[in-house]
Structure 1
């Protein structure tokens, strides 16, 4: 933004002008909250259903009933959103699921789909 200010305006007198440039902070644009991300666990032909439930209980600390519900969703629907949160956190969960031998991916959460699964702190 440029502003011009006149220092004197008498007849026959030179008018002195001063120009100021205001700088905007680029960090002001970065105030939007982080969009949530989902951890999706996919069905596979290798792991037993009991093992998938065990992983959800041991890693996420889910109660047996919730772990079984998510495992059945993986089995019947082919996938389940088992956690959501900040991108970096969800990526860490995906790496952990890979360590357990499960197929997991990270996806951007839609406004309608963020209520599924659970968030692990």
Structure 2
């Protein structure tokens, strides 16, 4: 006896999964001090004091800030590093 199995289309749309550009977004949280978030932006991304401060204020007042933009792989790396620093970050496609 043979069991019929449905056909599965296994083609993957690689262009859709790698189009971009992509962004690393840091989100506000109730744990980290604003000075620490600013420090992370300066230390890891190499932002100037003013840019790091502006991004930190966006995180604090608007709930999030886009801290980097580029390839998906690079943004995933940045997101992982932000997690390592204890910040809440995600990756999203630009324009989303």
TM-score for the superposition, normalised by structure 1 = 0.63
How far the C-alpha of 1:87 sits from its partner, in A, is 0.1
Q: 1:40 aligns with which of 4, 9, 25?
A: 25
* Structure 1: 5+ residue stretches without partners: 1-29, 114-121
- The structure having more radius of gyration, on CA atoms, is 1
1:108 corresponds, among 65, 82, 93, to 93
1:35 offset after TM fit, Å? 1.5
Matched, 1:54 2:39: yes
Q: Which of 64, 72, 77 is 1:79 aligned to?
A: 64
Higher RCO structure, 1 or 2 (CA under 8 Å, sep 6+)? 2
Aligned-partner Cα distance in 1 for 2:66–2:47: 13
User: In proportion to residue count, which structure has more helix?
Assistant: 2
RMSD of the alignment, in Å?
1.5
Runs in 1 of length 4+ with deviation above 4 angstroms? none
Q: 1:91 is matched with which residue?
A: 76
Q: Among residues 37, 41, 54, which one is paired with 1:69 in the alignment?
A: 54
Pairwise CA distance, 1:34: 4.1
Instruction: Could you tell me which runs of 5 or more consecutive residues in structure 2 were left unpaired when the two chains were aligned.
Output: 1-14
